[in-house]
Structure 1
């Protein structure tokens, strides 16, 4: 680190100075910049740069609406003297902050920030470095801009409130930053055990699906003449409001409202309460960081159960069963493929994103099924559109097939295991999930809306084969050329590279465009039955392409073994 060189004529261990601390933080800032800059010089870096350029305007467009909404909302509430509703702005920004944390992952780094512990670093400087190293995350930037917009709106409506509103919203932003850091670190601590990871997976899935259900059934914008259920939410809100006013978003709003009403004691008390919450969040986060500073390891490997000794008799019986499996029939799976399938099923159970990508589309089709049947909109295209929508969640994850293997990918290179069998097992799980989604969506639409016509159902199945084979082949190539390590004990981490996600989306959209063009072509000819042979021909061509790619995976993996090991084996 910077500033640690010995100077002749000085004692060997001089007192630590503030200049050395500034040099350390400057070295960390330079390191962060060098990692960001050099990441685009690596193999595939240009593609990742292009992907970020394409994704950044979309994210900016999504973020600009809540930011402008916070500003205009604060202006309207203050200018129309409805200060009692100002808590809706602070609570909205708080929820937006947490939503961005969960949905927009931070860019991956080439090293773990915990490695700075090996240098002569005191805990206060380590804590400060951990706080500032991720200060420019998407959640912090978007949340802070929303609070700045709200402050501007308050200032335009009532300039006399600007000093106090600025101070209050500044303290509120610090409390949000400390809260997100505290929540992330403790959730990662709980996710370090497999049982807690599985429970957290279930909570995330049920919580997200429950939010979608509440939004669809209680949001007045989706009622369309049905009974308005919003009074129920208003009653629940009124019950929770006294508690919400004692939490940081409520205290921030109360402090600003009290200042506007010249109740200075209440304003100062609310601000002190908000600062107290921020200090509590920081203290809990510091306690977690102190445990890591002392060397605590959150890897799931440290929580593995103790190995049990296998008696010799069981070893012999296991050897005999393995020998019997080697003499398998012509239709049975090979031991390698069976083991890989069993491993992928375990991965599926532990991977939150993969389970959510499988369940959420079917659940959304179920929520909209009754509305689709009542409105009669979409006709026969509802079923193929729903199947195409369901593929988005499953197909993207196939573009990082080795991500869950992590450092275990080394065993593929040193054992007599073909990458063809490894990826075939991964693809079979993906194909099985797509087939199950196809059947479930068909059943949901048949039960809640209308049964898809047999011609459309068969044509959609042929299109599904064409899309899954094409997506599987391209996904296997991207999995070897651009792998990305998946750490289930870390939250808000993308499970594929940004370029792979764009390619996956493009492949599904291109296949949907081909299928839609086929439908229009057959309808123009007046022969709708031609859809089946045309799409089946596309599926056979995609299957041939998939098999050819599958047979070349061993050679491709051997050529990319250094890049694969560098990415998947890093700490």
Structure 2
């Protein structure tokens, strides 16, 4: 083979360079920016942009108070030599961090970050990408700003503490970030099984309601100077919890700063090392979970189904035949399709934490406030209508994303002889039933704790509820087809609808309440309060006609939007 020279030998797999790692991270950052930018170019993106612009000032106002409170509180405690109370700031920031995680869901992504595993990526780079991809979440931003404000307050009050306090608070912020990521990933792992999901749903509901009860019971703002009798109990609880709380990250951060200010440098260093150890522990537990996902673990309820609960194919056929026979013999004389859809919606109701919370929380809050109004003798005739309108918010907003729980299963609606009219009718019937149950429960709560609403007010409120429910159902069905949003119960997220749909739901309820309130005022001005009932009943009849017309057109609307519906609900 004359003329050919032997090529220089090269290693088959050249070593990975730092430049390639930087290029990967730059590509991920560019991808994240492109997703955010292109989300507003899709159909309905302009409305979502407007909704975010309208919602952002309210979120900023809500977030600015704890941020300023952390800075001002740190300044007051340090300047007045009450350093021992600095733990209140660190614990407040920690609790604020977790509350924001639970109440403000991160922005949705149009792809699963786990898909980057298919590229040439080592586990350390994968772990780093997972850590930094969601770094600008609302919880991290608000919590970090609160820590920066606390550091500024400490520095203004005592500049000599700035270097050590800054170091401690930086480590504290990293520990909080690692803790939230660790907690979210492991909770999502537990939510991948149905039994754990149901248990977690119960814990979330009871925990949230318990926090509301403690807030209303012990918050001085709700007692008007009568909370002094509860201070001994609070101090007793605090003295019992304090030794344990001092050994946790918020307590260690405060102890390190206080010890440094008092000249106890060994204690300050030991507390800082303890805080670093906690951060490393949180990171290690998070890395363990990520390593199992990196190795290909699939988090799904099907994959974790015990072998003892799996039904053989022969029994599945028999069970399907018996279920079909039961549906054809529906005791309510409903069609088999409607009966099956109602059973499916009841299963969704049991497994959807946000739907259950939206049903239970308003009744519980009405009970707490009604008890206080009954004890103080306050409360006018509009308390019952206002409570019913408040409860309607928690139920009605979920009707604006009726197909969210169906996910990829929405494809079967288009290939099976099933009318979407029946599917949405079943969804709406569950919502209407929940609204009616809440109406009865709130009426019973007011009778038990405050005072019984007059028959005129109760009947007028029922007519208004029919008017608002049918209006919400019609508009919610339209938004469910034009702006669907996939709901994944194995992920921690409170975002059940698009932001624009949530604003529309709020606007519809407020508009209905304003119309009802104006009718009440007009009838009282005319001296004929009984006219409220026929007027609201007429509006309810008009809303029902509007709802039926929308319901009959849902199949045509769904066919016109089937590509957008499948794109949103079938994505991984």
Query: Residue 23 of structure 1 corresponds to which residue in structure 2?
Result: 23
List 4+ stretches of structure 1 deviating above 6 A: none
Structure 1 residue 376 displacement after superposition? 3.7
Give the whole-Å Cα distance in 2 for the aligned partners of 1:281 and 1:202.
26
Distance verdict in 2 for CA 1:375–1:475, change over 3 Å: same
Separation (CA, whole Å) in 2 of partners of 1:321 and 1:297? 31
Structure 2 residue aligned with 1:431: 432
Aligned-pair CA distance for 1:219: 2.2
- Deviation of 1:223 after TM superposition, in Å, equals 2.3
Name the counterpart of 1:471.
472
- Equivalent residue for 1:547? 548
Q: Work out whether 1:490 is the aligned partner of 2:491.
A: yes
Partner SS for 1:380: coil
Partner of 1:152: 152
Please provide the CA RMSD for this pair: 1.8
Match of 2:91 in 1: 91
Residue 194 of structure 2 aligns with which residue?
194
Q: Which residue of 1 aligns with 2:460?
A: 459
The whole-number CA distance in structure 2 between the counterparts of 1:428 and 1:327 is 20
Aligned-residue offset at 1:212: 1.1
Residue 37, structure 1, aligned to residue 37, structure 2: yes
Over residues 339-385 of structure 1, what are the superposed CA-to-partner deviations in whole Å (9 max), with x where a residue is unaligned?
00000000000000000110011111111222212334341100000
Q: Is the 8 A contact 2:330 2:339 kept in 1?
A: no
Residue 182 (structure 1) aligned with residue 172 (structure 2): no
Deviation at 1:59, TM superposition (A): 0.4
CA distance 1:379–1:327, shift in 2 (3 Å): closer
Q: How does 1:314-353 map to 2 (within 5 A)?
A: 319=321, 322=324, 326=328, 332-353=333-354
* Structure 1 residues 320 and 435: CA distance shift in structure 2, 3 A: closer
Q: 2:311 aligns to what?
A: 308
Which TM-score applies when normalising by structure 1? 0.96
Report if the CA contact (8 A) 2:327-2:340 is conserved.
no
Deviation readout 1:109-157 (Å, 9 max, x if unpaired): 0000000000000000000000000000000000000000000000000
| Cα displacement string for residues 135-191 of structure 1 (whole angstroms, at most 9, x for unaligned residues) | 000000000000000000000000000000000000000000000000000000000
CA distance in 2, matches of 1:71, 1:336: 59
Residue number in structure 2 paired with 1:250: 251
Residue of structure 1 equivalent to 2:442: 441
User: Unaligned regions of 5+ residues in structure 2, if any?
Assistant: 1-7
Gaps of 5+ in 1: 1-7
1:211 is aligned to: 211
Q: Is 1:412 the equivalent of 2:413?
A: yes
Question: 1:242: Cα distance to partner?
Answer: 0.8
Distance 1:192 1:231 in 2: 43
Does the CA contact (< 8 Å) of 1:217 and 1:229 recur in 2? Answer: no
Give the TM-score normalised by the residue count of structure 2: 0.95
Change (3 A) 1:492 1:256: same
Residue 398 (1) aligns with residue 374 (2)? no
1:459-509 C-alpha deviation (Å, 9 max, x unpaired)? 000000000000000000001111111111100341111101000000000
Aligned residues: 562
- Post-superposition shift, 1:10? 6.8
Change (3 A) 1:10 1:436: same
The alignment partner of 2:199 has SS state of: helix
Q: Secondary structure of the residue that 1:28 maps to in structure 2?
A: helix
- How much does 1:326 deviate? 4.5
Instruction: Provide the residue aligned with 1:102 in structure 2.
Output: 102
Partners of 1:373 and 1:52 in 2: CA distance: 39
